[in-house]
Amino acid sequence: MYLLDADDETIPAFRNAWSSIGDSIVVVGGDGLWNCHIHTNDIGGSIEAGLDAGRPRNVRVTDLFEQVAEEPWVREAEVVADLTGAVARTTAVVAVGVGEGIRRLLTSLGVQQVVAGGQSMNPSTAQILEAVEACNANAVIVLPNNKNIVPVAGQVDELTDKTVRVIATHSIPEALAALVEYDPNAAYDANARAMDAAIERVRTGEVTQAVRDASIDGERVHAGDWIALTRDGLVAATGSPADAVCTLLEKLVDDDSEIVTVLVGSDAPAHETDRIREHIEFRFPHVEVEFHDGGQPLYPYLVGVE
């Protein structure tokens, strides 16, 4: 537990970060000063979340196995929670994704349930419905993160008493952009409008390897080529994943771009990632760059530009 000096508007994101690493969460206060308490095994992560929001102080860590009594303010604080300790929300989010790093990113931005799936491994409507029912909210937004999963997710609303809205995200970078606008305490329609607007501000692409000779958008692609794709289709077919990403960035980044996010897959070679980083620093010095270990299979690089 600790005291947190933080602006009030940072607290929803702070609570979301904590909800992904622990339970029995109490955050009470206001006007820039908050009393914060959590049960978690991730001590470092709980403090880092506070540093992202403001300035933690008077940090106290207690081993509950020692049966030390909780502070009175913790016992007395009102926590809206179900029997599992999950904090109730006005609007919850379910997202589809694969890769441990991607799962961590999604939950850190407030996603309550992550359904395993993606390219070539589409989840069923029943799996998405199960995740929706597990959310502690009567309204749920679903982020499919793949164009093939959008119609599958669209069937869930008819199968549940909850209100379900599908935001037609086609990629994880689109989902990350949308989740920055997510407010768990806002109505689902307000969240949907804000998240839809965020998706319009991001351009995305992906790099994968061709497994057979094929014709894509009228271009001949050979087995083993590294291909870069956007929503508009094929951008490049090259001899290395770094070359494919660099060509992709030339297509996506312009003078108005501010942030480039690169999600690095489980099989991405470190030297290729270094080449991409150097290319961005040299070609686009005006953008902020974020590299994240996504851990996704099949696609060594997923790229988002805002």
Boundary of a domain, candidates 76, 111, 139 = 76
Q: Tell me: do 175 and 271 sit in the same domain.
A: no
Q: Tell me: do 111 and 173 sit in the same domain.
A: yes
Predicted local confidence at residue 237, as pLDDT: 95
User: Could you give the CA distance from residue 253 to residue 285 in angstroms, rounded to a whole number?
Assistant: 11
**Is residue 81 assigned to a domain?**
no
Convert the pLDDT of each residue in 182-241 to its tens digit. Answer: 888 889 999 999 999 999 999 999 999 999 998 888 888 999 999 999 999 999 999 999
17-26, 127-136, 139-148, 172-181: range with lowest mean pLDDT: 17-26
Asked if 268 and 239 count as a contact pair (C-beta separation under 8 A), the reply is no
Q: Tell me: do 218 and 284 sit in the same domain.
A: yes
Average pLDDT estimate for 257-264: 93
**Is residue 61 assigned to a domain?**
yes
Convert the pLDDT of each residue in 16-26 to its tens digit. Answer: 888 888 777 77
* Helix, coil or strand: residue 304: strand
Boundary of a domain, candidates 200, 231, 260 = 200
User: Could you give the CA distance from residue 173 to residue 148 in angstroms, rounded to a whole number?
Assistant: 16
User: Could you give the CA distance from residue 245 to residue 6 in angstroms, rounded to a whole number?
Assistant: 38
Percent of the chain's residues with pLDDT above 70: 91
User: Could you give the CA distance from residue 265 to residue 284 in angstroms, rounded to a whole number?
Assistant: 23
Predicted local confidence at residue 79, as pLDDT: 44
**Is residue 265 assigned to a domain?**
yes
Predicted local confidence at residue 72, as pLDDT: 52
**Is residue 252 assigned to a domain?**
yes
Average pLDDT estimate for 149-170: 96
**Is residue 297 assigned to a domain?**
yes
Q: Is pLDDT above 70 for 87?
A: no
Q: Tell me: do 187 and 207 sit in the same domain.
A: no
Q: Tell me: do 163 and 226 sit in the same domain.
A: no
Q: Tell me: do 157 and 217 sit in the same domain.
A: no
Tell me the residue range of the domain where 145 lies: 91-200
Q: Tell me: do 48 and 71 sit in the same domain.
A: yes
CA distance readout (Å), 256 to 165, 201, 250: 31, 11, 13
**Is residue 82 assigned to a domain?**
no
84 — pLDDT class (breaks 50, 70, 90): very low
Q: Tell me: do 109 and 62 sit in the same domain.
A: no
Q: Tell me: do 215 and 296 sit in the same domain.
A: yes
CATH of the domain at 228: 3.30.1180
Helices of type H across the chain: 11-19, 43-53, 72-76, 100-108, 125-134, 150-153, 172-179, 188-200, 241-252, 270-283
**Is residue 83 assigned to a domain?**
no
- Please state the domain count of the chain: 3
| Average pLDDT over all residues of the chain | 88
Q: Tell me: do 219 and 232 sit in the same domain.
A: yes
Average pLDDT estimate for 121-142: 93
Q: Tell me: do 20 and 55 sit in the same domain.
A: yes
Convert the pLDDT of each residue in 20-76 to its tens digit. Answer: 887 777 787 777 888 888 888 889 999 999 999 999 988 888 776 554 455 554 544
CATH of the domain at 137: 3.40.50.510
Q: Tell me: do 189 and 99 sit in the same domain.
A: yes
**Is residue 84 assigned to a domain?**
no
Boundary of a domain, candidates 171, 200, 229 = 200
